[in-house]
Structure 1
Amino acid sequence: MLNLRVAIVSESFLPTVNGVTNSVRKVLDYLSAHGHQAIVICPAAGAPSTYGGFRVHSVPALAYRQFPVGLPNPQVHRLLSGFQPDVVHAAAPFMLGAQAIASANRLGIPTVAIFQTDVAGYARRNHLGPATKLAWRIVRWIHDGAQLTLAPSSTAMSDLQEIGLTRLQRWGRGVDLTMYHPAKKLSWATVKLRKRLAPQGEVVVGYVGRIAPEKQVERLRALHGLTGVRVVIVGDGPAVPSVTRALAGIPVTWLGKLSGEDLATAYAACDVFVHTGTEETFGQTIQEAHSAGLPVVAPRSGGPIDLVDHGTNGFLYEPDNEDQLRAYVEALTIDRELRTRMGEAGRRAVLGKSWDGVCTQLLHHYDATIAAFSADTAHSLVLKTQRGEKLPR
């Protein structure tokens, strides 16, 4: 695998922290560690000028629901033309990514697009009706321009195949197996946090993620009245007031947004992890919880279907059945042996999913895409020659 020049065009980057930003950072860390070259193009929202030794270029953006949305700008074409990457990596492409893919095609650069948004789920939740078809047409239009689209789950693959995309491969996400580790339960920081969260030795049920309408954290209201249970919520976002109202009467500790060792300690202080959103194309926090040795209760929808082996490392509940959610959590809270067995199974399930391994897979996708693009380009030139057409200089 030769050293590559990679242009990563992302709809989200630091200081915004979400699944897109986190996976882009992991890819950049890998590229830096293995001697590759890269640049980042992202919306202007206070991003650093460099990351991992790579230049970060910000382009104009507008704010939408607290998120910066990159706007098409001639700067994107100039940056790609000047850097001359071997491949363009479009992370969750929307307006900025669509322009980058179009520019790359004009410049003769292959593109790999990373699908990360559950369009169908978003449309259903917001009752968009006819707009759903329009949203999928936009997705198809954007991804049709890329030489390859990488989907994170079997559900996402099915959705993209249904709208007619064919150049598809699966590519999941990695997890930090050292940061999130069952041994952290014995650390001084974890013991201290557990005393705060469960002063009487209660079972701690945790949620980690953004507190936003699409995350449906209000579903935790199903745990109302469970004895010997404390709920801990890690994260922040616009839905905090509505979630607070929904969980009135439940013993809840809000830890706010955490990262690094603080986040790893929060996972380690939990006994059970609950995922509530039904619009996840993957479900990174599920992998982190499994890596930390926690059983997971999640909806039978989207990405979690691939990550939770029902009855082995957790339970999958029907998305609209909060009684089922409650029953599965209750079963885990009253049965320590079941928690232990499922937690160990969860850890085993992610042992082959380090970020280094996952990013190595990504580079194989890059290489295959570059090779296929070169072959297609050469074939096109042969056909033009045979037809007597002028060749590009």
Structure 2
Amino acid sequence: MRVAVVSESFLPTVNGVTTSVARVLEHLQRRGHEALVIAPAAGSPSEYAGAAVHEVPAVLYRRFPVGIPTPLVHRTLADFAPDVVHAASPFLLGAHAIGEASRLGIPSVAVFQTDVAGYARRNRLSAAEGFAWRVVNLVHDKADLTLAPSSAAMSDLAAAGVQRLARWGRGVDLDGYHPRTRFEPEVAQLRRSWAPNDELIVGYVGRLAPEKQVEAFSALRGVPGIRIVIVGGGPSESSVRRALAGMPVTFTGPLHGRELARAYAAFDVFAHTGTEETFGQTIQEAQASGTPVIAPRSGGPIDLIEHGVSGLLTDPDDPRSLARAVTALTGDAGRRARLGEAGRRSVLGRTWESFGDQLLSHYESVGARGPVLTRALRKVDVD
């Protein structure tokens, strides 16, 4: 199978969309499929997991490269003659690619990953929220299938009028993120540096952006015996630093690979603050690490956390709910251990391999054609 992956984000930009695309490309390579990537110009590598990477012109918005529709997309798709177009979190570039795929007679799968209406909802802009969902409907309506990562996202998309929906979650690296990492000497060293007086470490991993609402950690001001560790960077860093000024907090900047795995292992509690997550990949990574998790009862976390069993869900409308959840775990090591163990069990089986195979099935469900027929159609189009 030949798969053209059109992504609104790719390396070196690191976020949930990029990570998901990277795992998809790695799986396609493992299964012997051929792939190509079209992404906004950001200094991407020329290839990844055997897939050639084609950049299109982009403009920066909040330090984020936004791809601009260009005839290069049509030419690239026509030359590659894919069996299916995979549009990751489609916006301007993805919507253009879906349209070009339709004109070329190529089936397309759109992966919903970003709550574009969330900003409007968070800022109580009801008219803008309605417009945002109309844009989402317009973009996804042209795709042969839209994949949603959670039940909440499925409901939102259906309410917005998006049809041809299916569920597709995300895998997690169960070996890279593992409870045994906690016993590595580097983790003990991290804990000593972050919590020299053996305080409870409450950690966050993710982008520092308005939609992540990391400023909500200010609700922990005055909670005794804790240290906050913020792993990540982004346009809201100065705002987060102001909100948490005077609190016992460490900012590490972005971490990757083993450094990130050790950070999860060093946390006593992982807390997520955003109420607009369509999925919540960092929640899965913390659960795989055996670290107890706290997240709002909103969006993707609802599917990932069974309250009181594999984590704690907080009230998204009550800022103090986070403080109450952290306080409940501060002096109860046994409960933290039980939640961490149950969280680990809850993600067993959620490998990228299993979700990658599910994705291939979704490609086939939209009638991804064999390369001979697709190339014949391309030849007719070019001639």
Mapping of residues 332-347 of structure 1, within 5 Å: 332-347=329-344
Q: Which moved more, 1:29-38 or 1:243-252?
A: 243-252
- Secondary structure of the 1:141 match is helix
2:133 counterpart of 1:130: no
Q: Please state how far the C-alpha of 1:198 moved relative to its aligned partner.
A: 1.3
Q: Please state how far the C-alpha of 1:291 moved relative to its aligned partner.
A: 0.4
- Secondary structure of the 1:194 match is helix
1:115-135 superposed Cα distances (whole Å, 9 cap, x missing partner) = 011133221123433122221
Higher relative contact order (CA 8 A, sep 6+): 2
Mapping of residues 1-393 of structure 1, within 5 Å: 4-370=1-367
Q: Please state how far the C-alpha of 1:354 moved relative to its aligned partner.
A: 0.8
1:236-264 superposed Cα distances (whole Å, 9 cap, x missing partner) = 11212221121123211111100000000
2:118 and 2:129 in contact (8 A); partners too: no
Count how many residue pairs are aligned between Structure 1 and Structure 2: 372
In structure 2, what is the Cα distance between the partners aligned to 1:268 and 1:255?
15
In structure 2, what is the Cα distance between the partners aligned to 1:101 and 1:369?
13
- Secondary structure of the 2:55 match is strand
Instruction: Calculate the TM-score normalised by the size of structure 1.
Output: 0.92
Q: Please state how far the C-alpha of 1:322 moved relative to its aligned partner.
A: 2.0
Q: Which moved more, 1:244-253 or 1:6-15?
A: 244-253
- Secondary structure of the 1:130 match is helix
1:61-91 superposed Cα distances (whole Å, 9 cap, x missing partner) = 1111111111110010011111110100000
Q: Which amino acid aligns with 1:357?
A: S
In structure 2, what is the Cα distance between the partners aligned to 1:8 and 1:300?
32
In structure 2, what is the Cα distance between the partners aligned to 1:97 and 1:243?
31
Q: Which moved more, 1:157-166 or 1:20-29?
A: 157-166
- Secondary structure of the 1:370 match is coil
In structure 2, what is the Cα distance between the partners aligned to 1:53 and 1:150?
25
1:136-164 superposed Cα distances (whole Å, 9 cap, x missing partner) = 11111111111100000111100111111
Q: Which amino acid aligns with 2:16?
A: G
In structure 2, what is the Cα distance between the partners aligned to 1:364 and 1:261?
32
Instruction: Calculate the TM-score normalised by the size of structure 2.
Output: 0.95
1:46-74 superposed Cα distances (whole Å, 9 cap, x missing partner) = 11111112110001111111111111100
Which one has the largest radius of gyration? 1
Q: Please state how far the C-alpha of 1:320 moved relative to its aligned partner.
A: 2.1
CA RMSD for the aligned pairs? 1.4
1:148-193 superposed Cα distances (whole Å, 9 cap, x missing partner) = 0000011110011111122000001111001110000000111111
Q: Which moved more, 1:245-254 or 1:13-22?
A: 245-254
Q: Which amino acid aligns with 1:97?
A: G
In structure 1, what is the Cα distance between the partners aligned to 2:317 and 2:43?
39
In structure 2, what is the Cα distance between the partners aligned to 1:73 and 1:347?
45
What does residue 379 of structure 2 align with?
none
Any unmatched runs of 5+ in structure 1?
378-392
Q: Please state how far the C-alpha of 1:314 moved relative to its aligned partner.
A: 1.2
In structure 2, what is the Cα distance between the partners aligned to 1:49 and 1:267?
31
